[in-house]
Amino acid sequence: MNILVTGAAGFIGMHLSLKLIKLGFNVIGIDNLNEYYDLSLKLSRLQKIKAKQENFEFFKMDLNDKEKINNLFKDFRFDAVINLAAQAGVRYSLENPQSYIESNISGFLNILEASRNNNISHLVYASSSSVYGINSNVPFNENSNSDHPISLYGASKKANEMMAHSYSHLYNIPSTGLRFFTVYGPWGRPDMAPMIFAKAILDNKPIYLFNNGNMIRDFTYIEDIVEGIIKLIKKTPVKNLLFDTKKNMSSSSFAPYKILNIGKGSPVNINYFLELLEDKLGKKAIKKMLPNQPGDVQLTEADTSEMFDWVGFKAKTNIEIGVDKFLKWYTSYHKY
């Protein structure tokens, strides 16, 4: 199978590409290599994949380059597309909202159009737990209300789900949207809490804890995320013949469409996460308490039963083991 991975130099994209290559898939990766965060980290990830070059081809490409995207689809005739490329980050959406429209809306439209014109058998794409917004009915279920995101990032991911649904309905494109919950692990993004906290502790810098540290996140280890995506590739959504328009059935549709949470289902208080880092690094953090930030939600927790029922997947990595693996990579990569 030829599989396209967009955002291949990203955190999830790198790990997924490596696993697909190991399983014998032909992986074509694209990434625009923007400088939202440290470009050298993206290039290092890319170099790690290129070491497995026999099954991997990479093209520097932006999702907004419609002509290049269309030509890529025609040249490789992909069996499946996994769209992970996006402008990430909740807080950055307050500073640069335009980039979210360009990458997450316009860019995704080009992926949908190319999928329509090239008879893609399965489009898997990244959504986010941010779509749940102010919903306080936890754990979040795929059929829970997700109409009130509180960041433009969350709104753009909700828009992706709706766009994919319309294409699944109009053009019979099987699509699966994955609502990721706080992914962490080796090679992670430096704008995420694990990297920020580890760096601050090791450099004796203060850590700013929003909402006075009273934040709870459903941390999900990267290897679990990749395993879940792999299981989904060949599990193509079908039309739900029992779909009832009078009921809230957001996770499936009369179209070949699926929405799934992919998380651990075991939320962790940020303070406990920080304690694990302190314990394993043997250093205490300098903590600065701050009020909540616009766009931040206090609690995320995934109901993972739908994912288990669909492909038999449940995340296994406990937070203590995941943090240990993350820190071994972090201190080695950054030479602490």
* Residues assigned a catalytic role: 153
The encoded tokens of residue 252 equal: 């499936």
Distances (CA, A) of 126 to 38, 52, 83, 179, 302: 22, 25, 6, 7, 15
Number of H helices, E strands in the chain: 12, 13
The encoded tokens of residue 293 equal: 């930030």
Q: Which of 81, 71, 65 is nearest to 28 (CA)?
A: 81
The dihedral sign for the CA sequence 217, 284, 189, 49: negative
Give the angle subtended at the CA of 280 by the CAs of 279 and 281, to the nearest 5°.
Answer: 95
Measured between alpha carbons, how far is 200 from 195 in angstroms, rounded to an integer?
8
Do residues 252 and 240 touch, judged by C-beta distance below 8 A?
Answer: yes
Helices (H), 180-318: 193-202, 222-233, 270-281, 305-311
Do residues 47 and 8 touch, judged by C-beta distance below 8 A?
Answer: no
Helices (H), the chain: 11-22, 39-50, 66-76, 92-95, 97-100, 107-117, 152-171, 193-202, 222-233, 270-281, 305-311, 319-333
Q: CB neighbours of 175 closer than 8 A, spacing ≥ 6?
A: 122, 123, 124, 125, 164, 165, 167, 168, 237, 256, 257, 258
Distances (CA, A) of 65 to 30, 50, 72, 164, 236: 12, 24, 11, 19, 28
